[in-house]
Amino acid sequence: MAQKAAKTLATRNAATLTRTHLITLTLHLLYLILHFTFQRPRSLKPYILLAVPTLLIEFYLDRVGRPRFNEDGSLRSAGEDLNATGLTEYMWDVLYWTEGCIVAVCIFNDRAWWLWAVVPLYSVYLAYTTVMGVKKGFAGMGAGAEGGESNAPLSKTQMKKEKKGDRVKYRR
């Protein structure tokens, strides 16, 4: 039972990476076969420009997520969790979106590469929402120091204090 979580992570990472490599290989071969066999004009420039970064992302995910074993077959490292949120999740999104664009280019034409423009737009959207969230968080911190009104709902204790006028009662 030792290292059960690490072994499970290693198995899941290996399966995910194998599946991803097979899908990527199939899609790239399909694109190249269609490019070199049919007379439909397909340009290799957008393919290279947009597929190479995705292949680099896939290589990076393989490098950090691939389990490593000792010479005797025991697990040395399970690799990083490929289902992690944050940058890893964004890399998977870019990878899947590019594979979808390759499928669209195979079905339609080179104009489908314009679908890839969604990736930078999505990045701008994520950056904007992050900045606005941080700005909203900092705005709430300074309201008490500046004496400004906040829009937060009042607790029962705060409502009672406001009703009394915040005066202190002394006992005799």
Strand, coil or helix: what is 42? coil
> Cα separation of 75 and 27, whole Å?
32
Q: What is the mean pLDDT of residues 45-56?
A: 90
pTM (predicted TM-score): 0.68
Q: What is the DSSP string of 58-71?
A: HHHHHHHHS-EE-T
Beta strand pairing status for 75-77 and 68-69?
antiparallel
Strand, coil or helix: what is 76? strand
What are the backbone dihedrals phi and psi of residue 77, each rounded to the nearest 5 degrees, phi first? -150, 135
Selected residue with higher pLDDT from 105 and 151:
105
Cβ(23)–Cβ(31) under 8 Å?
no
Query: By percentage, how much of the chain surpasses pLDDT 90?
Result: 27
**pLDDT class of 150 with cuts at 50, 70, 90:** low
* Mean of the per-residue pLDDT values of the chain: 84
In tens, the pLDDT along 3-13 reads 788 888 888 99
